[in-house]
Structure 1
Amino acid sequence: MLSFYVIVPDPEFSQLVVSALSRPLDLGTLYNVRNDKLVAGFSLWKTEDIQSKTRVSPQPNTRFQVSMSESLSEKTSLLDVSASVKASFLCGLVEVGGSAKYLNQKTSSSRQCSVTLGYHVNTEVKELMISELETPKPELFAMTDATHVVTQVLYGADAFMEFQEMASDDSKKQEIQGNLTVMIKKIPTIEISGDGSLNMDDQDKKKVKNCSCKFNGDFYLKDLPSTFEEAVKVYKELPSLLGEKGEKAVPVKVWLYPLSKLSNTESKLKRMITDTLVSQLEKVMDEFHQAEVRTNDLLKSSKEIRAKDIVRKLKTFQNSLRFFTAQFLRKMSVLIPAIRGGNMEETALRDLLKSRDASGFSGKEMEQWLDGKETEINIVTMNIKAIPDYMIKAEGHELDTFLMDPKVKDAFVFSFTSLRYEEPYLKNISQAVENFKSGSTSRTPEQDPTQEVPWYKRQDVNENLRSSRKVFESAPFKKVISFIPDPERPGAAVRWYHESALKEPHVTSLPLQQLACKLTLDPDTAHLNVSVSGRKVTWVQEPQPYPNPISQKRFDYWWQVLSKEPLVGRCYWESRQHHLSYLDGGGGGSDDGSGGIAGNYAPSLSSALAALRTLCSRRSPNSDIA
């Protein structure tokens, strides 16, 4: 239940208008405006006296609203909450219920699209003829901390249906919000057929296929709607849920009469918080929430790419922000009633806002730091997507376990090397939280974006990323992406591991004698002395028989291993060779000596000993082929 009030300008009759929003604010209820709470269990008049002096006037009215509903200011505007009561709600003085629970619904992602349908109905007004009641005894006023009494009530009910859909990216958000707005405005005109289905064309059904609905209202529903179709059906039922004569209506708005006018005593309500100051408080809370939402999005993205260093920093920021927000609201909850009661000046609340600006949690500083984290995540993500055939292993036990696997003989690790570094901003806000908790007013140094150049803006980083990516893509071994710090190679580095041991931390090119490509053997020509795995060629004493009919690609006697693939790039190998077969019709030949062949000989060596895609190792005939 939430309330809002507006001071009537007549100084002789300082009556307040309060939006009840489901709280039991009936005629004669006492109310404390300083903390926006009703005073239960105490009354100035007997119930029968109140009933006998009540005048009832019909006031039927129904309104329909559609509004964007992602920020707190948008929600309070839809609820018609005054500037003054926002402060009470923000700092937790007011516990909302019924339709006002809508204020507690917050977006968790910046990609979340929200549009709200607001349904408002009024039925009647009840007015307490206070001038005809006996004046309460003076001692009664001393027994309560109330400042006002309810003398008029507008009955009715409110309902809010918030429709939400998640956009795949920011570019789709506006389109989705537009579609939701159009469809929600159509709800009053959508008809329900006899079988209970909605009369909607396929295009309209497509627009709301993926949206969900959350309901908050002063109506009793057996089942809450969760889809657009269910929401339409509930909307059609709302008028009947108030009862035939509106007997199920609840207080919607109340008028408060100051007790000081009844007792001829000094008012306990000294002043109200100015609208300008409340607007500043609302902006601060919106900035806190937007920072929280953005952090959630960045945490999700950084977890997807397994960037533990970024995740750790984002969680540190999030924890500090949440703690600071809680302390900020706690101080607000103390200052606001004290200011309204005249025990403190409004400057105390202004000082609180200044302390926030000096803490490192200003909107500008939070946005600047989160921009940097988003840039880091985008750079890492783009480079990962540019690399084919990879797996991601987080630094630590996950990467170590992979490298220790007996099946992994050699592995190349593409490491992002510059994500682990100290950030003064995180230290500053951590200190600010402690200062704020203790009441210290020492200012946290504001971050200077030019103070230190981010790693991704260094001139050598982009070149390191490109060259490392090129080497990594050509690697013949297992390919793993990880995040191992290395200040000597900012941006990225390729690391070569052999049997779990680091052989080379900065691979800038593929060494000829250490790296080899797998053979792709042609089953039509390969001899049976090639192992089943296709990774070992063994010399035998006796020739192997040929299948019938003998392939024209084979020699009549000599052992041979031929490849399906032509040689590409610059190739090198050394082995003992006996006869070569040429697919281009060149026939066979022999070379009984050992020697090296270098150069791009793809046309004539397309069916030679092995098709090595780029580089081949120096091997003996009996060795394993990696």
Structure 2
Amino acid sequence: MDSKPIEVAALSRALYPGMLYDCRNDSFIPGVTLWDTEAIKKNLDVHQHPSSDFTISTSNSLMVKSNLLDVSASLKASFMGGLIEVEGSAKYLKDDVSSARQCRVTMKCSKTVRYEQLTMSNLGKITYPWMLDKHTATHIITAVLYGAQAFMVFDQMASTEEQKQEIQGTLHMMVKKIPMFSIEGEGKVQLTEEEKTTADRFSCRFHGDFDIKQNPTTYLEAIEVYKTLPGLLGEKGEKAVPVKVWLYPMMKLHSNAAQLLREISVDLVSQVEKVLDLFKEVNVRANDMIGSCQLSGGGGEKEQKLVDILNTHNDSQFTSSKMKKWLDEKEIEMNLLRSYTDMLKDFPIMNSRVKLFKVLFDPMIETVVCFTFTSLQNKEPYLSNLTQCLQSDDFRKLEKNYSFVPSAPEEETQPWYTSPELSKKIRDIIRRFCVISENHQTDNKFRFIVASISDPSDPGVSIRTYRCGEIGFPIDAPTSHGD
């Protein structure tokens, strides 16, 4: 893992210079620092950083929401995994539509006021060095950008698809006008009769870091709140909250400190994000269907419609048994990988092609010995079938005669880690890799790394050697070349 500073969205969390942060689960440790309070205050460099932003969004996807909050892939993974409890403006991440007939436009207002950073070179000796050996954190918060963010979510229900498009356009236009109303002064907001009638149909929800007296619930209240936002941070920005923080690796201060060995891949987070959004879409459509089924006297036809929906679900890939089976397999795989990487903790993990190639083609390194996971990028039949199912027009319409024929039969592909032979092979190769490393630990021309490179012909793991960037013979295979 590269030992570079990391930029992280604060998500309304109380993160301040000098605090310890654990990137392995995106948690922070309040009340614990490496230096005493006086040393931190004395070495704090403060700059004014005034800026403001106004953005309008019509999307309800997690990808767009996280982009509006500047959430990184790894932080997003922690949120999706339930590791982070969001507050303030970050609660917007959990504000989802409940009906496909719901028209939504979101307005984001953000403001920054100052930037604070620790002058690491002047901090001097660490006051509490024993904290470095506890392995409870991987980074130190060395800089914080202060300000505040607010999201106003406007909704209106439509009765038809045609009406939804019309309402969406009107809603977008009305929200876009809000900043124009705010600069007309302290007087009452002036709306035409037509605008008043339109605005009365909107509802509003507020998620923000600003200390407002009362959350707005209507369009007019939203305008009044928007007008007051700039002054709510105080004359000198003393009421601003952390918006973004910068993290410095603790291993830069002490080689024995805990470190982040590998970040989850952006592509994998994106796949999980898409699956969660699709689950939400199915849930929304199911809610609409159930709401329209009045299971009372004379409702036999609508009751049958609900039965058809349940039958479609049972014939799909979304049954609880199939989901549980896949999740159980992923949990087993993750636990095994954690065990293997713990055994390889002394070796850097190349979690991207860029990092791998940087080592392979380093002119100062003659031989790279790579412990290679060869099956981590295998295709996921269940996820492929989920996507196929959701892309089916019949399934999207919840047709009565829907029948799913998987393009990737799951029975034909067994998880790579379930093979007893592979389990023995992996343990043997890990031991061999460590022995080879020990034999060459004083040779500066050798570099030992861990990476994931797909190779269906050699499932599980292998040890690969690269000479001057060119792959050589598999070092774990029986050869006459020796180690």
> Which TM-score tier does this pair reach, normalised by the shorter chain?
0.5 to 0.7
Q: 2:383 aligns with which of 357, 374, 390?
A: 357
Q: Which moved more, 1:49-58 or 1:183-192?
A: 183-192
Deviation string 1:431-464 (CA, Å, 9 cap, x unpaired) is: x9xxx9xx999xxxxxxxxxxxxxxxxxxxxxxx
1:96 maps to: 86
Q: 1:156 to 1:15 in 2, by over 3 A?
A: same
Q: Could you tell me which amino acid in structure 2 is paired with residue 154 of structure 1?
A: L
Task: Decide whether the 8 Å contact of 1:213 with 1:227 is kept in 2.
Answer: yes
1:185 maps to: 176
Greater fraction of residues in helix: 2
Task: Decide whether the 8 Å contact of 2:182 with 2:226 is kept in 1.
Answer: no
SS at match of 1:216: strand
Task: Decide whether the 8 Å contact of 2:293 with 2:303 is kept in 1.
Answer: yes
Within 2, Cα distance between the matches of 1:39 and 1:350?
A: 33
Residue 231 of structure 1 pairs with residue 226 of structure 2:
no
Deviation string 1:479-501 (CA, Å, 9 cap, x unpaired) is: xxxxxxxxxxxxxxxxxxxxxxx
Residue 33 of structure 1 pairs with residue 23 of structure 2:
yes
Q: 1:372 to 1:260 in 2, by over 3 A?
A: closer
Give the TM-score normalised by the residue count of structure 1: 0.53
Q: 1:48 to 1:198 in 2, by over 3 A?
A: same
For residue 311 of structure 1, report the CA deviation from its aligned partner.
Answer: 2.1
Q: Greater relative contact order: 1 or 2 (C-alpha under 8 angstroms, separation 6 or more)?
A: 2
For residue 325 of structure 1, report the CA deviation from its aligned partner.
Answer: 6.6
Quote the sequence identity (%): 39
Task: Decide whether the 8 Å contact of 1:87 with 1:336 is kept in 2.
Answer: no
Task: Decide whether the 8 Å contact of 2:44 with 2:118 is kept in 1.
Answer: yes
For residue 151 of structure 1, report the CA deviation from its aligned partner.
Answer: 0.4
Within 2, Cα distance between the matches of 1:328 and 1:77?
A: 29
CA RMSD of aligned residues (A): 3.8
Q: Could you tell me which amino acid in structure 2 is paired with residue 39 of structure 1?
A: I
Question: How many residues are treated as equivalent by the alignment?
Answer: 375
Within 1, Cα distance between the matches of 2:116 and 2:68?
A: 25
Deviation string 1:544-580 (CA, Å, 9 cap, x unpaired) is: xxxxxxxxxxxxxxxxxxxxxxxxxxxxxxxxxxxxx
Q: 1:19 to 1:277 in 2, by over 3 A?
A: same
SS at match of 1:51: helix
Residue 311 of structure 1 pairs with residue 303 of structure 2:
no
For residue 193 of structure 1, report the CA deviation from its aligned partner.
Answer: 8.5
2:165 maps to: 174
Within 2, Cα distance between the matches of 1:331 and 1:206?
A: 54
1:125 maps to: 115
Within 1, Cα distance between the matches of 2:378 and 2:225?
A: 45
Q: 1:93 to 1:440 in 2, by over 3 A?
A: farther
Task: Decide whether the 8 Å contact of 1:88 with 1:336 is kept in 2.
Answer: no
Task: Decide whether the 8 Å contact of 2:10 with 2:242 is kept in 1.
Answer: yes
2:130 maps to: 139
Task: Decide whether the 8 Å contact of 2:138 with 2:257 is kept in 1.
Answer: no
For residue 351 of structure 1, report the CA deviation from its aligned partner.
Answer: 7.1
For residue 295 of structure 1, report the CA deviation from its aligned partner.
Answer: 1.3
Within 2, Cα distance between the matches of 1:283 and 1:352?
A: 19
Residue 17 of structure 1 pairs with residue 7 of structure 2:
yes
Q: Could you tell me which amino acid in structure 2 is paired with residue 242 of structure 1?
A: L
2:437 maps to: none
1:269 maps to: 260
SS at match of 1:28: coil
Q: 1:372 to 1:132 in 2, by over 3 A?
A: closer
Q: Could you tell me which amino acid in structure 2 is paired with residue 250 of structure 1?
A: V
Deviation string 1:300-342 (CA, Å, 9 cap, x unpaired) is: 2333755324324545749966787788789879949977994
Q: Could you tell me which amino acid in structure 2 is paired with residue 40 of structure 1?
A: P
Within 2, Cα distance between the matches of 1:228 and 1:341?
A: 56
1:49 maps to: 39
Within 2, Cα distance between the matches of 1:89 and 1:327?
A: 23
> Gaps (5+ residues) in structure 2?
352-372, 420-483
Deviation string 1:60-95 (CA, Å, 9 cap, x unpaired) is: 111111111322222112222223322111121222
Within 2, Cα distance between the matches of 1:153 and 1:36?
A: 16
Within 2, Cα distance between the matches of 1:232 and 1:327?
A: 50
Task: Decide whether the 8 Å contact of 2:26 with 2:84 is kept in 1.
Answer: yes
1:65 maps to: 55
Within 1, Cα distance between the matches of 2:339 and 2:181?
A: 48
SS at match of 2:146: strand
Q: 1:49 to 1:192 in 2, by over 3 A?
A: closer
Deviation string 1:386-427 (CA, Å, 9 cap, x unpaired) is: xxxxxxxxxxxxxxxxxxxxxxxxxxxxxxxxxxx9x8769x
Which residues of 2 match residues 54-453 of structure 1 at below 5 A? 54-136=44-126, 138-190=129-181, 197-265=188-256, 268-303=259-294, 305-306=299-300, 307-312=302-307, 314=309, 317=313, 335=334, 342-343=341-342, 354=380, 356-357=382-383, 362-366=386-390, 368=392, 371=395, 374-375=398-399
Q: Could you tell me which amino acid in structure 2 is paired with residue 207 of structure 1?
A: T
Q: Could you tell me which amino acid in structure 1 is paired with residue 380 of structure 2?
A: K
Which residues of 2 match residues 563-602 of structure 1 at below 5 A? none
For residue 238 of structure 1, report the CA deviation from its aligned partner.
Answer: 0.8
Deviation string 1:137-159 (CA, Å, 9 cap, x unpaired) is: 65321124200000001000000
For residue 108 of structure 1, report the CA deviation from its aligned partner.
Answer: 0.9
Q: 1:251 to 1:192 in 2, by over 3 A?
A: closer
Q: Could you tell me which amino acid in structure 2 is paired with residue 308 of structure 1?
A: E
1:485 maps to: none
SS at match of 2:41: helix
Q: 1:329 to 1:357 in 2, by over 3 A?
A: closer
Q: 1:58 to 1:327 in 2, by over 3 A?
A: farther
Q: Which moved more, 1:165-174 or 1:26-35?
A: 165-174
Task: Decide whether the 8 Å contact of 2:9 with 2:69 is kept in 1.
Answer: no
For residue 134 of structure 1, report the CA deviation from its aligned partner.
Answer: 2.8
SS at match of 1:246: coil
For residue 354 of structure 1, report the CA deviation from its aligned partner.
Answer: 1.6
Deviation string 1:497-520 (CA, Å, 9 cap, x unpaired) is: xxxxxxxxxxxxxxxxxxxxxxxx
Within 1, Cα distance between the matches of 2:228 and 2:241?
A: 17
> Gaps (5+ residues) in structure 1?
1-6, 377-420, 442-626
For residue 130 of structure 1, report the CA deviation from its aligned partner.
Answer: 1.5
Task: Decide whether the 8 Å contact of 1:288 with 1:321 is kept in 2.
Answer: no
For residue 222 of structure 1, report the CA deviation from its aligned partner.
Answer: 2.2
For residue 217 of structure 1, report the CA deviation from its aligned partner.
Answer: 0.3
Task: Decide whether the 8 Å contact of 2:18 with 2:140 is kept in 1.
Answer: yes
